Chains A and B, each alone.
Chain A
């Protein structure tokens, strides 16, 4: 196996990757992730209509199973507003208004957090539990797992803002990257500019977050309105 180690890379010889590669990858991945997300929630859409149509043992939705429309609506409004802010932030970023983008980004992050908090408040105050029939099961499973997706998006937004904030003083396109961990085998050769990470990731995030917000609206419509 030692012969593997003999092939070390001489980065003076090997040409570097085209700079737009990361953006293309992230853009594709964002769309693929959105399609996977759609299939994930399709399972819940299916469960909702299936159990509702069957109404086994008459226990689809006992009378007291009635989540708060107000809190649910507020949570989804926060989600949609956050997605819109990220989109506006992206337009700022494209136009080079880095400060404005960060401001909108932090607001969007806060709103996504508010959405999760509202969802938790709703679970804490509702008058029914998971064992109260088909609707209660679908409602808690769906909203709960949607909240997990929200947390993932919050992480995503935070990483972009952290990078953008940490390097807010430097000009885009100049500095070399450093070692983020103590692993001596890591090389930063692929990333010459940490700020170059933000834009493609933001583009992908903007699409994915809008898509997830759309799923949120669908969730709201099915669970509260239908």
Chain B
């Protein structure tokens, strides 16, 4: 090392590392809280249900961990690419450094810690009350308290909804009562669909023959958007609708009105079941 050229010695100036780390820590301390706060404001799915709020909170955690990572990269590359660029006409090699056990171990420890933090926190959030995701027929994260069961039936290319507690009423639009815990049972009659109620923070695949359960705890009356989020054939792009969350009394009135309206049809529906096996979907020709 003593034999190295003067410019090489300058390149080995240990203050490079300290400078970079210092800048990174400073940037992280200043910017991370700002980014996390901003994320809480703008990250979907918003604040309209408990599950949606939890998702936003979870996203803030992810942002909190990943912002310093991103800042480290940005700081590193800005510094390195400017400071260690080859000057004009300089075609000599850099110093033959082949590794450093301390840096490796530090890196492994820090990345592992970050990853485990995220995984533990994500699991905790998930097991709270399912985070609005489809959990299959035997849900593991079941919120306590009474729940209103609503069945979501996907078919090509619309969702219909059955209310087993109201005589298996089936309606083409989704209306839910405010301030209630809803138990969604998602199933399909044909291809795989995915029931995505965007503002509610709910997404659950609709598989034929499968009862996919998701929970959502509603807040005040509002409207929300429904999309199919799994490619289900020709008119997949048109499989969307708007749902409503209404007050308890409006909901009771709506149910009565629907029961009356669909009475002629309802009597021919199959009995309410967790899933419906249609005839095998074979092509006719």
The answer for the CA separation of A57 and B278 in the assembled complex, in Å, is 10
The complex places the Cα of A56 from the Cα of B211 at a distance, in Å, of 13
Contact with A along B200-212 (1 / 0, CB 8 A): 0000000001000
A 49-87 binary contact with B (CB < 8 Å = 1; else 0): 000000011000000000000000000000000000000
Query: How many residue pairs bridge A and B at CB < 8 Å?
Result: 4
Compute how far the CA of A57 lies from the CA of B277 in the bound complex, rounded to whole angstroms. 7
In the bound complex, how far is the Cα of B209 from the Cα of A56, in angstroms? 8
Which B residues lie within 8 Å of A56 (CB)? 209, 277
Which residues of A lie under 8 Å from residue B209 when comparing CB positions?
56-57
Measured CB to CB, the closest approach of chain B to A117, in angstroms, equals 33
Query: Shortest beta-carbon distance, A175 to chain B, in Å?
Result: 52
Alpha-carbon separation in the docked complex, A23 to B277 (Å): 56
Q: Which residue of A lies closest to B209 (CB)?
A: A56
Q: Which residue of B lies closest to A58 (CB)?
A: B277
Q: Once the chains are docked, how many angstroms separate the CA of A56 from the CA of B277?
A: 9
Residues of A contacting B277 with CB < 8 Å? 56-57
Q: Among residues 107 to 149 in chain A, which have CB atoms less than 8 Å away from a CB atom of chain B?
A: none
* B279 CB to nearest chain A CB (Å): 11
CA of A56 to CA of B274 in the docked complex: distance in angstroms?
Answer: 13
Q: In the complex, A214 Cα to B38 Cα: how many Å?
A: 60
Please, what's the 1-or-0 string for B265-285, where 1 marks a CB less than 8 Å from any CB in chain A?
A: 000000000000100000000
Chain A: minimal CB distance from B155 (Å): 18
Q: How far is the CB of A103 from chain B (nearest CB, A)?
A: 52
Q: Which residues of B contact A57 (CB under 8 A)?
A: 209, 277
- Nearest-neighbor residue (CB-CB) of A57 within chain B: B277
Chain A residues 92-118 with CB under 8 Å of chain B are none
| Cα separation A43 to B277 with both chains bound (whole Å) | 26
Nearest CB of chain B from residue A219's CB, rounded to whole Å = 27
Q: Residue on B with the closest CB to A131?
A: B280
Given the complex of chains A and B, what is the CA–CA distance between A107 and B281 in angstroms?
Answer: 48
Task: For residue B209, give the distance in angstroms from its CB to the closest CB of chain A.
Answer: 6
Please report the C-alpha to C-alpha distance between residue A134 and residue B277 in the assembled complex, in whole angstroms.
15
Q: B208's closest neighbor in chain A, by CB?
A: A56
Interface residues of A in 6-44 (CB under 8 A from B): none
Question: Which residues 206-225 of B have a CB within 8 angstroms of A?
Answer: 209
The minimal Cβ–Cβ distance linking A75 to chain B, given in whole angstroms, is: 31
A57-B279 Cα distance, complex, nearest whole Å: 11
- Shortest CB–CB separation between residue B84 and chain A, in angstroms? 39
A57–B281 alpha-carbon span in the complex (Å): 14
| Residues 179-214 of B at the A interface (beta carbon under 8 Å) | 209
Q: What is the CA–CA distance of A57 and B209 in the complex, to the nearest angstrom?
A: 8
What's the nearest-Cβ distance from chain B to residue A62, in Å?
15
Once the chains are docked, how many angstroms separate the CA of A56 from the CA of B280?
A: 12
Whole-angstrom distance from the CB of A51 to the nearest CB of chain B? 12
Q: Return B54 CB to nearest CB of chain A, in Å.
A: 32
A56 and B210 CA atoms in complex are apart in Å by 9
Nearest residue in B to A54 (C-beta to C-beta)?
B209
> What is the CA–CA distance of A125 and B175 in the complex, to the nearest angstrom?
57
- Nearest-Cβ distance from residue A225 to partner chain B, whole angstroms: 29
For the complex, what is the distance from the CA of A57 to the CA of B280, rounded to whole Å? 11
Smallest Cβ distance from A52 to chain B, in angstroms? 16
**A174 vs B209: C-alpha distance in the bound complex, in angstroms?**
68
- Minimum C-beta distance from B225 to chain A (A): 33
Give B188 Cβ to nearest chain A Cβ, in Å. 13
Q: What distance in Å separates the Cβ of A50 from its nearest Cβ neighbour in chain B?
A: 13
Can you list, as one digit per residue, whether each of B242-285 has a CB less than 8 Å from chain A (1) or not (0)?
A: 00000000000000000000000000000000000100000000
Taking the closest CB of chain B, its distance from the CB of A55, in whole angstroms, is 11
Q: Please, how many angstroms separate the alpha-carbon atoms of A56 and B275 in the complex? A: 11
For the complex, what is the distance from the CA of A28 to the CA of B277, rounded to whole Å?
A: 49
- Complex-state Cα separation, A123 to B277, whole angstroms: 30
Residue of A nearest to B282 (CB): A131
> Can you list 4 A-B pairs with a CB-CB distance of less than 8 A?
A56-B209, A56-B277, A57-B209, A57-B277
The 4 closest A-B pairs by CB, nearest first: A57-B277, A56-B209, A57-B209, A56-B277
Chain A residues proximal to chain B, CB less than 8 Å: 56-57
